[in-house]
Amino acid sequence: MEQFLRWAFIELGENSKANFGIPEMEVIPIYLEPKWVEKYGEDPSMKVVNGFRTQFNEVTVELLVDDEVIVGYDYVAMAEDGFPEKRGNAFEILGKYLILRKVGDTQATDKTRAAVKTFGKLLQQAFDKYYAFGSIYSEDL
């Protein structure tokens, strides 16, 4: 999530006027609760990014990872029957879903809805780059 936070500082902060027609927006990090940090063997006072919050005109939006724990494996290999099989060490991963949500009951104007929709498209492009190339900052090939 740290790459996405840095990305948000650029796209929502520095480039907000060009991207959304909104003056510079403040991006506020959301950190994991200390119980989760401690569960994975880290110092509970350590701040681990779990998402961020920002304001689109009158509407506050949060992007964060949920607290569902899933099991991951070192790799996937072909089994004897030809189907993929999870292999290697099993490990826990915190966060199954990425959540984009509006905070509060404030009604959004059409201009704000358009800005949030543009944000969603930019976010989707950033995720595509992250999963395809390992970095949000990868240039399109």
**Does a structural domain hold residue 11?**
yes
Residues linked to residue 31 through DSSP beta bridges, in sequence order: 49
How many helices and strands (H and E) does the chain possess? 4, 6
Residue 140: pLDDT band by 50, 70, 90 thresholds? low
- pLDDT for residue 141 is more than 70: no
Q: Is 62 a domain residue?
A: yes
In a domain, 73, yes or no: no
Cα–Cα distance, 113 to 50 (Å, whole number) = 24
Report whether 65 contacts 85 (CB < 8 A).
no
Domain tally, the chain: 1
Give per-residue pLDDT as tens, 50-66: 999 999 999 999 999 99
Instruction: Inform me whether the pLDDT recorded for 136 exceeds 70.
Output: yes
CA distance 45 to 31: 11
**Is 140 contained in some domain?**
no
Q: Is residue 40 part of a domain?
A: yes
Does any domain span residue 126?
Answer: yes
Contact 116, 61 (CB under 8 A): yes
**Confidence class of residue 24 from pLDDT cuts 50, 70 and 90?**
confident
How large is the average pLDDT for residues 10-38?
Answer: 91
Domain-located, residue 84? no
Residue 17 lies in domain: 2-66+94-133
Residue 81 in domain: no
User: Could you report the per-residue pLDDT of 65-113, keeping only the tens digit for each?
Assistant: 998 999 999 999 999 999 999 999 999 888 899 999 999 999 999 999 9
pTM score of the predicted model: 0.80
